[in-house]
Structure 1
């Protein structure tokens, strides 16, 4: 039996050929703007490089600043320093061992994490100087007693070992606690801003001195009329930029000895295909969906 599968998918690549930006001159909160973009286009704008900055600037009719898709999701923006997805098994990026009442993001600037001498965690400003634990080859953990900021500690671990310690489970938490030898130490967990569409774009174009979270509640990102970005209170209203994704149609011819249901096709064929697309450079927000199916008996 042959299966002829017709697919369609969203591929939000950074190119004028693959997506189109739209300026919406209506004042909305960041969440309202997100809902509007998702209902009428694809999502709030994701930017990948200065060409995208220029594209938004050239849309014209913008005054002041406008929302884009970058935001700090206080609950879900925690990320480990080791970013290789193959390092983590199911659920291993979400292990946490917070101290009571933590994380509390005091004054809105506690974006990095230390481990207390008792083995529990606390969110703190990234510019504090602490010893730190690195992760090395053969699953080893190494204490460095030099007191550095989180970013400098990360750079030191990456230069001399593999990375800052990323803790996947309670067993590893105990190993890091043992390596810390009674010190309060930096570990690899930190909070970073995310794109509304789930893109993995690392491009940033902050205005000098930004983001500063000046009032402790500036978790959303606005595009200024100069093209640079500022962090703002998500509940303020302003115009915004959306984008439309590039939609691609694909045909797959599959030979199979047994008849497959659509659910089996999704799990056995489309899911691995999507994973391969993402592994080869497409954004995490890429989607693939079954549009039409023909079965041909041979």
Structure 2
């Protein structure tokens, strides 16, 4: 993994630690072979007990992004904390990317495709979700927070897998 990314992640964690009273259990390093849900090579970033793959070149609709993550043995990012999303946003090269939340099963009830329940952490952009186009059923993340988006929009995406 790029040394600059590791230094950035460690610096961000230390900054977060200095600003909070809790001690986050986050660190970044290369994944450990044999302890992955899927092929470790597909998920080169490790933070805590999660492995991540950030797709910054290929843009896909939400359904194709979810399928790509499943093929690799993971799923679209299921955000669990403010620290997690801050770290992921800081190392992506894209302005926006798909995450696991959607309201495809029940209108305006956003759940994670990874767990079948609401994401443990969600920080919506001001005025979101708004269903502005009348067909905004999938969720994308950006530095400003989450927003609903038409699922057919082509965006980058973040996949995650858990360590066994």
- What's the TM-score once normalised by structure 1's chain length? 0.38
Aligned twin of 1:45: 77
Residue in structure 2 matching 1:71, options 95, 102, 125: 102
Residues 1:209 and 2:127 are matched in the alignment = yes
Instruction: Specify the alignment match of 1:192 in structure 2.
Output: 109
Match of 2:137 among 198, 216, 219: 219
In the TM superposition, residue 9 of structure 1 has moved relative to its aligned partner by 9.6
Higher relative contact order (CA closer than 8 Å, sequence separation 6+) = 1
1:9 to 1:22, Cα distance in 2 relative to 1, 3 A:
closer
* Alpha-carbon distance in 1 for matches of 2:96, 2:116: 22
Distance in 1, matches of 2:151 and 2:134, equals: 12
Could you say which residue in structure 2 is the equivalent of 1:57?
89
C-alpha separation in 2, matches of 1:24 and 1:39: 14
Cα distance in 1 for residues equivalent to 2:157 and 2:100: 9
Indicate the residue corresponding to 2:67 in structure 1: 35
Residue ranges of structure 1 left out of the alignment (5+ in a row)? 1-7, 78-110, 112-190, 248-298
Are 1:234 and 2:151 matched, yes or no? yes
Post-superposition offset of 1:199:
5.2
Verify the 8 A CA contact 2:81 2:120 in the aligned structure 1: no
2:63 aligns to what SS in structure 1?
A: helix
Q: How many residues align?
A: 120
User: Which contiguous aligned blocks of 4+ residues in structure 1 show a shift greater than 4 angstroms?
Assistant: none
CA RMSD for the aligned pairs?
Answer: 2.2
CA distance, structure 2, for counterparts of residue 240 and residue 29 of structure 1: 9
TM-score scaled by length of structure 2: 0.66
Corresponding residue SS for 2:70: helix
**Contact 2:128/2:148 (8 A) holds in 1:** yes
Any unmatched runs of 5+ in structure 2? 1-34, 38-45
Cα distance in 2 for partners of 1:66, 1:213 equals 18
Distance in 2 between the 1:24 and 1:38 partners? 14
Following superposition of structure 1 onto structure 2, how do residues 1-298 of structure 1 map, counting pairs within 5 Å?
A: 16-25=47-56, 26-62=58-94, 64-73=95-104, 76-77=105-106, 192-198=109-115, 200=117, 201-224=119-142, 226-247=143-164
Seen in structure 2, the aligned counterparts of structure 1 residues 21 and 9 have a Cα distance that, compared at 3 Å, is closer
In the alignment, the residues of structure 1 paired with residue 82 and residue 144 of structure 2 have an alpha-carbon distance, to the nearest angstrom, of 9
Give the structure with the higher percent strand.
1
Structure possessing the higher radius of gyration over alpha carbons: 1
Task: Report SS of the residue matched to 2:51.
Answer: strand
Tell me if structure 2 keeps the 8 A contact 1:44–1:243.
yes
Alpha carbons of 1:57 and 1:9: their partners in 2 closer, same or farther (altered >3 Å)?
closer
Task: For 2:152 and 2:61, locate their aligned partners in 1 and report how far apart those are by CA, in whole Å.
Answer: 5
Please give the secondary structure, in 2, of the residue aligned with 1:58: helix
User: C-alpha offsets along residues 166-192 of structure 1, whole Å, 9 cap, x if unaligned?
Assistant: xxxxxxxxxxxxxxxxxxxxxxxxx51
2:27: which partner in 1? none
